[in-house]
Structure 1
């Protein structure tokens, strides 16, 4: 079995690895090392949980040479605040015996504090694209000395709409640099970016895109609606004691908060909730509580599905099926990491059936369907999104037509005009429609 000693790391770096207790590199670390050391651009395709962070950090710090500059020599872009914090921690562990100044920056905190930190001098910058671009446009961050650019979770960056920020940052950098890119999937948008902005990066592939982790037992429950899903989740939590470290995924912030409120009623203070509307301190504290075993689980959006190193997840529950099949892979990949096995359970309503089939097609594998427990309470109460079809039908009703073929006029008391406020209407009581007023003014001006 190969060990890190084959990499001939500098003593300071090897000592840090010894302190961490790491002896054997993962496959992606082995495959990436020589490519990055060669100085060529690289595109690494690897699933979450495969050791990607050390795959680029180890060769970068073997190549690293201290120079007395104030601008970053290494820039690492990641999609989320949590991932910034995590990568900074990994860098600090590896550079424990080296002279390296590391700074993590992200949105949602005071930008002036971050500006002060930048002015103190940095060697390694880790940040989200938005905040890095903000500080670069303000001429606070300069890329004069940047030799290495790492973009981690490249496909997720593009999914989140960061393409304009990434292209702006690339435009500010000198062309002579090494680009190291990591992505879990090769999407069309990733391909376009590679073609437009990078020089034929060497591809290092660990596994075919969409291949599920073999150590994860996957199953599906067919459930009629949201409220029945809640009943099922509560029953599983009550009856299955092995569900001790759980991630529950939903598709948006509103559902996350709603589900947390309903679950907390029966399992008080056992679950945290994380999404992009929560403050940075709240999110980090919740993750810390979960890591320390003070929480049984976290209810979250896909912000937790990528890159974050959360250990010993026993179960992943897709309370809602993700809209992209690739995201299903990233979600279930939070469990079954390293040498552990994991369990992934998905709750699927009829309107989510197509999403399930797309995930199965991507994996080339059918997910086992489980029978609903006989004593589960089947709810008939629908929530907002489940009523959408009814709303659409209502909105598409044709207006009534009179015998003469003309549309019926609304009665005077029902005539309303929108005065521009969101969702607000007022009865028409002498107020004039703004558009009509503009037209009248135009006519007056023409007469003049």
Structure 2
């Protein structure tokens, strides 16, 4: 099976070759035909399945014929990191087209985003909070949106974004294609999907099953002894890059500082950090400047870092 079966425009096919894609993943094989046909889609898939390209490629195919400089596609994502990753995928796969994409999220200045919207863009990848701010200021025009994508909808629910999402949905044209992706289907997400999807095709890939190469261990320990146990484990266990999850921002920061004092190359990632510091932490961990990333679960969502050897839940998730 190859991407040729989808008969993508030559410019998109060239982008596929440029990024080194050779064969579609299961979710791409299952989802792309439905999206190309204009159907609404419910995609039940976790990160790492190739779902981003599963919606980006057919969206590019749709946009390549039609008016440019109009906001025609809206993609909602729960975190800045995920928004940037989606944007990067659009740029990579659409590099031989004239289709433009931009990101909108908080933690950075509004003016560059406002300027980008005024210059014109076909695809807007946004986090709900900042998008609503710009909508209220009259900067964003959603009246001509043809395709809506909700990516990692369950995480948006976890982060309390559903009221914002519903406010955004109320401003969109009712005649549109909606693509809805979620790893899980809690009641709130099931209701939202039922409210906005019209006769959707359903694609389910790799739900719940953990990777076969992952082993798990549980260490019952008193709260006061957690840090000593973590230090002992890091000292005695050969590791590559290590992700440590904490429940609170304060603990992420203090634990990273304590690890750094012990000589470990550790950095914290928390939700209230400035975007530049967040990006420095992520890039440093990705490139190997830091060996340990201590993060709250919410702050870490949407991050794609390979070569992680150990994931440690310092607190019960």
Does TM, normalized by the shorter one, top 0.5? yes
Mapped pair 1:31 → 2:30 = yes
Q: How many residues align?
A: 317
> Matches of residues 240-255 of structure 1 in structure 2 within 5 Å?
240-241=237-238, 243-255=239-251
**Distance in 1, Cα, partners of 2:212 & 2:86:** 27
Shift in CA distance, 44/196, structure 1 to aligned 2, threshold 3 Å: same
Q: Distance in 1 between matches of 2:302 and 2:199?
A: 25
Q: Is the aligned partner of 1:224 residue 2:219?
A: no
- The residue that corresponds to 1:235 in the other structure is 232
What RMSD, in angstroms, separates the aligned Cα atoms of the two structures? 1.5
Alignment of 1:279 onto 2:274: yes
Task: Name the residue aligned to 2:316.
Answer: 321
Work out the CA distance in 2 between the residues paired with 1:240 and 1:229. 16
Contact 1:152 1:182 in 2 (8 A): yes
CA distance in 2, matches of 1:17, 1:313: 27
* Distance in 1 of aligned mates of 2:299 and 2:30: 27
Give the deviation of 1:120 after TM superposition: 0.8
Maintained 8 Å contact 2:68/2:99: no
Please say if 1:267 is aligned against 2:263: yes
CA distance in 2, matches of 1:5, 1:304: 38
- Indicate how the Cα distance of structure 1 residues 197 and 178 shifts in structure 2: closer, same or farther if over 3 A, else same: same
Q: How much has 1:133 moved relative to structure 2?
A: 1.4
Give the drift of 1:69. 4.7
Pairing 1:74-85 to 2, within 5 Å after superposition: 74-85=73-84
Aligned partners of 1:213 and 1:6: how far apart in 2? 29
1:298 corresponds to which of 268, 284, 293: 293
* Contact 1:194/1:200 (<8 A) preserved: no
Are 1:112 and 2:108 matched, yes or no?
no
Give how far 1:305 is off: 4.7
2:13 pairs with 1:18: no
C-alpha displacement at 1:304, in angstroms?
5.1
Superposition map of 1:344-359 within 5 A: none
- CA deviation profile, 1:132-176 (whole Å, cap 9, x unmatched): 111122221111221110010001111111111111111111101
Q: 1:60 to 1:68 in 2, by over 3 A?
A: closer
Aligned-pair CA distance for 1:198 = 2.6
Using structure 1 for the length normalisation, give the TM-score.
Answer: 0.68
Q: Counterpart of 2:225 in 1: which secondary structure?
A: helix
Q: Which runs of 4+ in 1 moved over 4 A?
A: none
Q: Is the 8 A contact 2:271 2:299 kept in 1?
A: no
Give the distance between the partners of 1:321 and 1:252, measured in 2 at CA.
11
**Contact 1:71-1:141 at 8 Å conserved across structures:** no
Structure 1 residues 333-368: Cα deviation after superposition (integer angstroms, max 9, x where no partner): xxxxxxxxxxxxxxxxxxxxxxxxxxxxxxxxxxxx
Gap change, CA 1:306 and 1:31, over 3 Å in 2: farther
Match of 2:99 in 1: 100
**Contact 2:12–2:60, Cα closer than 8 Å, also in 1:** yes
Ranges in structure 2 where 5+ consecutive residues have no aligned partner: none
Residue 27 (structure 1) shift: 1.0
Q: C-alpha deviations, 1:209-266, integer Å up to 9, x for none?
A: x3322221111111111x311111111211222x111111111101111211221110
